[in-house]
Amino acid sequence: MMVFPGWKQYAAGMSSAVGSLSFGASVGWSGPVEFRYKEGKSGYDFIPNGDEWGWVSSLLTLGAAVICIPAGVLIGLFGRKMTMLVMFIPYMIGWALIGFALNVKMVILGRFIIGACGGSFCVTTPMYNTEVAEIQHRGMMGCFFQLFLVHGILYGYIAGAAPDVKMVSLLCAILPIIFVITFIWMPESPVYLMQKGKTEKAEKALKFLRGKDTDNTAELNQLAEESKREKVRITDALFRKATIKGLFLAICLMAFQQFTGINAVVFYSNHIFESANTEISSSLCTILLGIIMITSSLMAFFLIDRIGRKMILLIGSAVMCASLLLLAGFYQWLQSNNVGWIGILSICTYVLAFSGGLGPVPFLLIAELFSEDAKAVAGAIACTLNWLLAFCVTKLFPLCVHEFGEAVCFLFFSIMSLLAFVFVLFLVPETKGRTIKEIQEILGG
């Protein structure tokens, strides 16, 4: 049986992405347990009101926003691997606060801590994976973050079917342990090692990742050349023309990712399915949603290096726009006509398009658009904005629904999807098959 020499780079990428699997489970946790907490069936002595539960849901994303820039600094100082492994400790503290909560404040604090741990992986995992990958595999491995994230969301939905809320939390808390057990054996990023002057360790890491019989001379020379470039202050690196344009593109893509409504749909999926008035249980619908996320992410995983990043974004944005427009029409005119299947079909189509386009690609592009000396901080800035906007959307969505109705909210998301299509069409360059140096030359004009 033939195995291609560099299969270990995929093993390293998948083990690092177990961290995002853990984060996805945290995202999926809130939907299935919401009604049990609110109805006093959670097994705890407290019942959160609507506003308190809004904080339980949304503080996960605020925690992610707070950690991104510190994580960007830490991966430059201590490495990608160590930064990810250290997150295990606060991860377990967060789940302990939720599992043994005496009041809703402990749940809220636990969610914030878990969000901070998970948010660090949106910076570290794509960067680590694209740095350990060969150029022809960079797109696929850069999608591991989103692919494992949606697997984690589905895991959270399925775990939510457990009869006891404490058991749901325990099942989610197991994942960070699995991450440490698998990832601790993987090498540090060769790019980071070479930047720190650890040439022998970088060569050893490449031999592990590419296969011991593979000639890595050219790749080592390229890494050495990059590491010997004149060191500049991070402020100088950030104010290069190419970095400014890359940051503009990354920030806009992250903004479109959130303003097209994905976190509103994920966090409030049970409520949305209940309002569709179908005979299918909301729990079953959310599990179906998770399966669709995985299917679409897998499609993007196999197509990203074939048809390119830009085409996937264009197709996804167009389908999202159409499905959200249909969903807005359903809530405006059809909800009372016993055609709830239209609402379910619209949401499923939207999630299918998002998980194959605006879901994975922006995180991949963060790892591709910036030079090595600007990547950590610039990527952290873009991710911070992403999670701040996710917090705003998650917190404000139920308020906007109450004030304006579902139809107006989904119409807004549809318009943002159309704007995303136009933005990608005219401004986003194709990065498939190009080296970081070539991408910098394109951005720098």
* Beta-carbon contacts of residue 28 (< 8 Å; ≥ 6 apart): 152, 153, 154, 155, 156, 157, 159, 160, 266, 286, 290
Structure tokens at 55: 């904080």
Domains, the chain, with CATH or none: 8-186+229-443 (1.20.1250.20)
**pLDDT by 10s per residue, the chain, length 445:** 345 666 889 999 999 999 999 999 998 888 788 888 988 888 888 999 878 888 888 888 889 989 988 998 898 889 999 999 999 999 999 999 999 999 999 999 999 999 999 989 988 998 899 888 888 888 788 888 888 988 898 898 888 888 889 999 999 999 999 999 999 999 999 989 988 888 889 889 988 888 877 777 777 888 777 766 656 676 777 888 889 999 999 999 999 999 998 877 776 666 667 766 666 676 677 778 778 888 888 888 888 888 888 999 999 999 999 999 998 888 888 766 677 677 778 888 998 999 888 988 898 888 788 887 788 888 889 989 988 888 888 788 888 888 888 889 999 999 999 999 999 999 999 988 888 888 888 888 7
Question: Does an H or E element contain 80, and which?
Answer: helix 80-86
Cα Rg of the chain (Å, integer)? 22
DSSP 231: P
User: Count of residues for the chain?
Assistant: 445
Tell me the residue type at 20: S
